[in-house]
Amino acid sequence: MAYDLTNSRARDPLIVMVVFTFIAILTTFMRLKARHLRSLPLGLDDYLMLVALFFLLVSVSIQFACVLAGGVGRHTKDVAPADVVKTLKLILPFEALYGVTLCFLKTSVICFYLRIFGNTKSFRISAYVAIVILIMWAMSIVLETFLLCRPLAFNWDPTIPGGVCGQRNKVYVSAGALNVVTDFMVMLLPVPHILGLQLAIRRKLGLLLMFSLGIFITVISIIRIKSLQVISFTDPTYTLPMGLLWTVLEPCLGIINGNLPMVRTILIAFAPGIFGSTNDNTTSRSRTMGLSTKEGRRTPFHLITTGEEIEMGRNGIMVGQTKSSVWGGSKPKARETENDTDSERAFAKGTGIMVGTTVDIESA
């Protein structure tokens, strides 16, 4: 039978989940749009994020089915026995999808790191090791889901003779705890390499903050563990709602967080005055180096030659789009503007020559 949404315990988690799922879809679209605006092909990290989003949508569909067709949110005694069985069947693929979705999501983030720091051998090795750990963790989630109770049908039919189940709550909590460990593993992966960049302290702190936003996802992981501890398989439909919600919300917020570095790019494209900085337009860069003014006034320098490479930074570190130019003329003092927070400039001054190198970290 079908169940309505007059029960707040069933309805409210769905509302929260729909809102954040919409934001995840929107930020993923903005991520792809940002690549299009820069005329860049989709990378492996983009495809992995799309796969993670697909599995998230499947999980959302299962949660809707559990509520509307399985009676989740109501006491088991108020739900038809056949619908209770339906819910117990649906939570098996739901739990397996949780591990698979997070695996694709975190691997996408690591691949994004590889595009930035991939020229460093030590980082490549640590990144590949982290990916292997994530795959092994996801496989353990899938295996425990379908092997925890034997035979499989014992998950929804405890009357089967000889059937046995492990301690499901403890297994779920253990898997969640390992997930928290992988959260910290992914967050800490780029930290040593960011600290090694030749950037001003405030810029390093800004990058560390951007790459550490995943700490909020870790908090969600811990809350999810607490919600799993209250699940009772003697009254599963009533105790499942919050466990289902946090299991969907965690990868949902992870997708949003993983898309944030690219979202700023598209925001700058549509509203540079609000979201941009002096480095987000050519005019400001030229003014900063004393080459030209907004009014087109002549300066002591003129362009001799320029070159551009994509995704190649200094010291062998991939940090984004790099442009190198040489100007001839007098020797004004090179200066750096206060708002110059997105790139690192280095000037080498000689007699009548100035060489400028601009590294656009965000363009990766």
pLDDT tens readout for residues 196-226? 777 777 777 777 777 677 788 888 888 888 8
Say whether both 248 and 314 belong to one domain.
Answer: no
Are 252 and 290 part of one and the same domain? no
Task: Examine residue 277 and state whether it is found in any structural domain, yes or no.
Answer: no
Decide: pTM greater than 0.95.
no
* CATH number, residue 231: 1.20.1070
Residues 306 and 342 in one domain: yes
φ and ψ of 71, to 5 deg: 75, 15
Range of the domain at 95: 8-272
Q: Which of 246, 272, 298 is the last residue of a domain?
A: 272
Highest mean pLDDT (candidates 170-174, 232-236, 347-351): 232-236
DSSP, collapsed to helix, strand or coil, labels residue 190 as coil
- Domain assignment present for 288: yes
Using DSSP, state whether 268 is helix, strand or coil. helix
Do both 287 and 242 map to the same domain? no
pLDDT computed for residue 39 by the predictor: 86
Judged against a pLDDT cut of 70, whether residue 327 lies above it is answered with no
φ/ψ (deg, to 5) at 160:
-65, 125
Domain boundary among the residues 219, 254, 272 is at 272
Residue 139 has pLDDT above 90, yes or no: yes
Same domain, yes or no: 138 and 191: yes
Instruction: Please indicate, yes or no, whether residues 83 and 211 belong to a single structural domain of this protein.
Output: yes
Decide if 3 is inside a domain. Answer: no
Q: Verify that 215 and 286 share a domain, yes or no.
A: no
Condensed to tens digits (0 to 9), the pLDDT of residues 280-307 reads 444 333 333 444 444 444 444 444 444 4
For 149, phi and psi rounded to 5 degrees? -115, 135
Structure tokens at 166: 């492990």
Residue with tokens 């301690």: 167
Count of domains forming the chain: 2
Note whether residue 2 is domain-resident.
no
Higher pLDDT, 228 or 209: 228
Task: Say yes or no: 288 and 268 in one domain.
Answer: no
Summary mean pLDDT of the chain: 77
